[in-house]
Every structure is written in C-alpha cells, then in structure tokens.
Structure 1
Amino acid sequence: MATELNPLAQQRRLRTRLRQARTHAGLTQRSVAEQLDWSTSKVIRIETGAVGVSTTDLRALLQLYGITEPDRVAELVEVAKAARRKAWWDEYRDSFNPKLVNFVASEAGASGIRHFQSLVVPGALQTADYARAVLQDFGSESELVERAVRMRLTRQEGIVAEGGPSAVFVLDESVLLRHVGGPGIMQAQIEHLQELDRLKHIAIKVRPFGAGVRDGMQVSFTIFDFDDGPEHVVYVNQPGEDVAVKNDADEVCHYIDLFAELDERASALSTFIGSRPQ
C-alpha cells in the first residue's frame, strides 16, 4: 500500500518530525510540558504515537519549536489529519488482537520486509484454502475464520502490487513438507509460492534441514524497514504469546543479524523445488 495512504506511516512521519523539531529547538520533553502547561506524559505519548495529536496541540508545539512558516505548518497539519484517517485494516479492530492489526498496518507501510517462518507458510503468502485450513486447525472461532482469510488476502494484494515492498521470505524446509488441508491444498499453495517468487520485488527462500539448527529458529519473526521514521521494527511471534514488538536498537540488531545468518544458508525456492525427488 502506498505510504501516503497509510495512516500509521503518516503518524510515524509526524512524530519523527516533532522529535526532530524539539531537539533542534534545544528543548526536553519536560520543558515542553512546562511551557505548554501539559503533563510530561502527554508529550511522551504524542512522540511515541501512543495517542494522536489534535490540530490545536500540533500548532502549539510548532509555535514553541519556532516553526511558523505557513507552508511548513500547513504540511504538518495535513500529515496529522492523514494520520487520523481510517484505513482498510481498521474494520478488523473489533475482531482481532490490536497487536495483530498494528502488525498489518506496519506491513502495509513498510518499504522492505524480511520474514523468517518456522511453522507454516507466512500469512500474507497463503492461498485462501490454505489460510482457511490453518486457521481451522489452530482452533480459530468459526465466525472469524472468513474475516481472517479476507484480511490475509488483502495484505497479500498490497505486497504483490507493483510498487510493493522489497520482500525476502525465508522458510524452514518443514513449512513446505508439512501438509495443511490435504495434498491438493498443499500443492496449490506451493504453486502459488512459485508464482509469487517470480515477482521482481519478492524472493522466497528455503532453509534446508541440512543447514542444521541455531538459537532463534524457535520463533517466527518479521523485520520491517521504513523510508521514514524508525529505520527498522521487528515483530516476533512467540508460541503461546501475543506478537511482541521489538524496537530497541540492540534487539533489532540481534534479529537483523539472525535473519542474515538464516538467509545465508537458504536456497532459492526454485532451486529447492527443483532438487526434490519427483
């Protein structure tokens, strides 16, 4: 999905600009709060994106930071308005965990995706039948299965579209050998992966059993790269737990290094499929 249409991307862009402006003005979060008669926590929540910022509050911040040029103020006001607009994933907030919906929003605004999967085909690459089988086998409530399938297919549209993010998916070999939904569904899913792998901006790779194991393979994780805001954000799928967000610099570097190691011993999907006995 285009960044300019992504409210989360606009929110990230705005809070980055505000932090930069405050730093350039030589102000701390505490001093901003004191001068505007706000609580320090309000400033922190605005800068971290925990809350939105109203046009009135935004203008007060810009005035304090010395940003008074009409064109620049108008641009940032428009960014703030765009950050509050509804996106397609908002219709799923009443059905799914907020962390999952935020993951989807981050995915839609990313310029790059690096994903390691150790159990099943990544959700955004699944066929409808494969997704339905996975969700049913994982015990999803029957009334939510079709909504979840629709959300995954919409995510896929954004990734495969022309101008979509540069994406590398590394799958453990077991992902392709584990039958989900029966032989026909599994075969159709593998053929679908082959089609996606032919797209110029998508690479699907397989880490074979022969590459062994290493610490970190126990979980699946995704690294999102952004053209604006924080350079990287990592989401980790921990068994039995919610999706965990990692944005601490040391943690992010750990997963970037881990992905590079897993990717180094992985084969292109076409090579792996071609080497399998018929």
Structure 2
Amino acid sequence: MTPPVDPSLNRRKLRLALRQARERTGLTQRQAAERVEWSQSKLIRVETGTVSVSVSDLRALLALYDIDDPDSVHQLEEAARGSKGPSWWSRYHEVVTPQFAQYLGYESAATSLQTYHPIVVPGHLQTRRYAEALLAPRGLSPERTERVVDLRMERQTRMFGGAASPDATFVLDEAAVRRQVGGRDVLTEQLQQLLDFGAQDRITVRVLPFEAGAHYSTLGSFVLLGFSDDDDLLYLEHAAGSMTGGEDLELLARYQECFQTLMELALGGTESLDLIGRIMQDLAAR
C-alpha cells in the first residue's frame, strides 16, 4: 500500500509556490509580510517549509499575489490542509538529529537519488540484520538500536514501496559488498537484497571495483538529490551531517562531477550484479 502524503511534502509544495509567487510580484519578504500584517519571521518560516499554513493565512497570501485560478487555488488549499501534523519520522525524534530530519524532508520529495558509499551498504538498502550488526559496535542500548533500525526500515519502505519512488542509483565500493558485517549469513542475506533491489526498474546498483584507484570522494560517502521543481542538493554523510544546495554551487558541481566519474569507473549494471552473485557463491563455498 502506498504511504499517505507526508505533511512535509505539502509544506514543501506551499514553500515553493508561495516563494515563486512573491518573487513574481517583486515584493521582498518584509514588504509581503507588512501587506498581510504578519511578522517577517512568520513569512520566512512559511517560505522555508518549517511550519504548516492555515487556509485563511494562505488565502491572504494568494490575494496579495493575485493568484485566483480556481485549480491552482484548490490545489494549494488542499496542500495547506495537508500541511498540518508531524512528519513520519517525528516519532523517531529520540534518534533523529535536526540536521537529519531536515535531510529526510528533502529526500522524501526528491525525484532522483544518486549516492556513493565506500565502506558499507547504505541504509536505504540494508536488511534488518545487517543494520543491527552494523550498529552493534557503537554500544547503543538494545532499545535505541531497535529504534534506529526501525527508522531505516520504514524509510526504505516509504522510498521504494510506492508508485512515486525516485530514480535511485547506488554506487558501492567493492569493499562495501565484501565486508562481512555480521558474518557470512548476514552478508549473504544482504547481498541477496542488493540483487533484488538491483532488479527493480527504478533502482540501479553499481560496484566500484578495487582496481578503480583513487578519486575525489575516496574518503567519504555522499548523496545527491534531484528535484523537478527545485535546485539539486548535496548531503555529505559524516557524524554531524552536512547539506548544501544553491548556496554552494561550486561544491555541488564538484560532487556531481565526482559521481559521473564514479559511474565511468564502476562496473556496468549487469557486471555489478554478477560480481555480487559471485561473492555470494564464494561465501556459500567456505
């Protein structure tokens, strides 16, 4: 069953539409806020998608921006009604940092995802047992480990379980598909899941072989999110997490170029899945 539209997606729809409408009128945020007798901070929160929008507040902005097309008004009013309430990940608040919560909001709206992982299988594709084994050395309590794993499993279902799933490309270093996280049985199960995901139409799994040598992102993983209605976004995965979009176009461009290089260096789709299959056979033979 396709998950319901998350409130964060409706807030994002409103954020983009209202910001673009204001810019078309030539009004600054301060000028627009003064015209509807709001504080500037309230308008900023609406345009960043961090708060829901009431239908009455929306109508005040639509009147200011001369938006009166019935279909457009109806769609935006429905988005306003659907913008209330917590996002799906809010129930995992004890294990989700504010930075990662912001990223999840963007990821939920992305139409494409491109990512490279040099060490382990990414959370998007992990089995439950692999995720548990990966977290074991961190010394987390059993309860916290379960919550983190539950978050990953729900994220995976939401990303790939519906008709609106993004076009996702995963480049995994050969080390990631050979490292025996959890032992042979756990890795075998994980590799089978990679094969299953790799067989889906909108998911591509590629392996970067050892002989590929060094490249720009040898030392870390990253995610590139693409949108049909907004700028691309780069997420660098480390302890604190880091996001950049239009505010650092040079860094974004470097990682976009890096991903293209990785795709050129990686094995082809069929070759990658064949390698994963051979690694599984090697594990079974031991």
Give the TM-score, by structure 1 length.
Answer: 0.88
Answer whether contact 2:191 2:276 (CA < 8 A) is retained: no
List aligned pairs for 1:77-156, cutoff 5 A. Answer: 77-156=77-156
Give the corresponding residue for 1:209. Answer: 210
- Stretches of structure 2 that go unaligned for 5 or more consecutive residues are none
Change (3 A) 1:42 1:69: same
Indicate whether 1:270 and 2:268 are aligned.
no
SS at match of 1:73: helix
Runs of 4+ in 1 over 4 A off after TM superposition: 1-4, 274-278
Indicate whether 1:243 and 2:244 are aligned.
no
Count matched residues. 275
Which segment is superposed worse, 144-153 or 251-260? 251-260
CA distance in 2 between counterparts of 1:141 and 1:98 reads 21
Task: Give 1:167 shift.
Answer: 0.7
Task: Give 1:4 shift.
Answer: 7.0
SS at match of 1:186: helix
List aligned pairs for 1:48-87, cutoff 5 A. Answer: 48-87=48-87
Give the corresponding residue for 1:174. Answer: 175
SS at match of 1:223: strand
Which string of whole-angstrom CA distances, capped at 9 and with x for unpartnered residues, describes residues 117-152 of structure 1? Answer: 112110121111100011112333321111221221
Task: Give 1:104 shift.
Answer: 3.1
Give the TM-score, by structure 2 length.
Answer: 0.86
Answer whether contact 1:234 1:252 (CA < 8 A) is retained: yes
CA distance in 2 between counterparts of 1:203 and 1:111 reads 14
CA distance in 1 between counterparts of 2:162 and 2:71 reads 32
Answer whether contact 2:15 2:47 (CA < 8 A) is retained: yes
Answer whether contact 1:225 1:233 (CA < 8 A) is retained: yes
CA distance in 2 between counterparts of 1:27 and 1:2 reads 39
Change (3 A) 1:134 1:264: same
Change (3 A) 1:80 1:14: same
Give the corresponding residue for 1:17. Answer: 17
Answer whether contact 1:108 1:155 (CA < 8 A) is retained: no
Change (3 A) 1:150 1:82: same
Answer whether contact 1:10 1:80 (CA < 8 A) is retained: yes
SS at match of 1:234: strand
Answer whether contact 1:194 1:270 (CA < 8 A) is retained: yes
What's the RMSD between the two structures over aligned residues?
A: 2.4
CA distance in 2 between counterparts of 1:243 and 1:45 reads 22
Answer whether contact 2:8 2:49 (CA < 8 A) is retained: no
Which segment is superposed worse, 107-116 or 65-74? 65-74
Task: Give 1:197 shift.
Answer: 0.8
Give the corresponding residue for 2:255. Answer: 255
SS at match of 1:83: coil
Change (3 A) 1:69 1:198: closer
SS at match of 2:82: helix
- Stretches of structure 1 that go unaligned for 5 or more consecutive residues are none
Answer whether contact 1:169 1:204 (CA < 8 A) is retained: yes
Answer whether contact 2:3 2:162 (CA < 8 A) is retained: no
CA distance in 1 between counterparts of 2:21 and 2:54 reads 17
Q: Which amino acid is 1:9 matched to? A: L
Task: Give 1:41 shift.
Answer: 3.2
CA distance in 1 between counterparts of 2:63 and 2:274 reads 59
Give the corresponding residue for 1:38. Answer: 38
CA distance in 2 between counterparts of 1:105 and 1:217 reads 27
Q: Which amino acid is 1:234 matched to? A: L
Q: Which amino acid is 1:91 matched to? A: R
Give the corresponding residue for 2:187. Answer: 186
Q: Which amino acid is 2:139 matched to? A: G
